[in-house]
Amino acid sequence: MTIVSFVISGLLLGVIIGISWYGARTLPADARIPLHLGPGGYGNFAAKTTGLIVWPAAGVAIFALLALISEDVIKASDGGARKGPLILLPFVLVVLAAGQWGAISVARRNTTVRSDQ
């Protein structure tokens, strides 16, 4: 399960980077990307470049953190019985990718509204 979890997580990191690339190609230069900085929701907007870099950076940080936790769990467990972080890693990255896709959608919608006025 360890290898499968890391392969899936690596693919999901590629998806997150691909979503940023898609946003870079399709959003106008003045687009503002919402960032989720805490329990309050999307309260902060960043410039296009910053917003498109923060999402993949968060994905890499989450991957690294959970990979380190997973390694400790594997070493500490007898027979690999406790593998919660290994299974959790792909789910966390799916949520991050969905949030990033939503952020790009919000940026596109806000840019469209501003240009129509």
Digit-by-digit pLDDT tens for the chain (117 residues) are 577 888 898 899 999 999 999 999 999 988 899 887 666 655 688 899 998 999 999 999 988 887 787 766 556 555 555 556 677 888 989 999 998 999 899 888 887 655 545
Residue 116 has a pLDDT of: 47
pLDDT at residue 113, as a whole number: 58
**Per-residue model confidence (pLDDT) at position 36:** 72
Q: Give 32's strand partners.
A: 47
pTM over 0.85: no
Classify each residue of 18-53 as buried b or exposed e, where b means 16 or more C-beta atoms within 10 Å of its C-beta. Answer: ebbeebeeebeeebbbbbbeeeeeeeebbebeebbe
Predicted pLDDT of residue 23: 93
CA 40-36-44 angle, 5° bins: 85
Helix axes 2-26, 48-76, angle to 10 degrees: 180
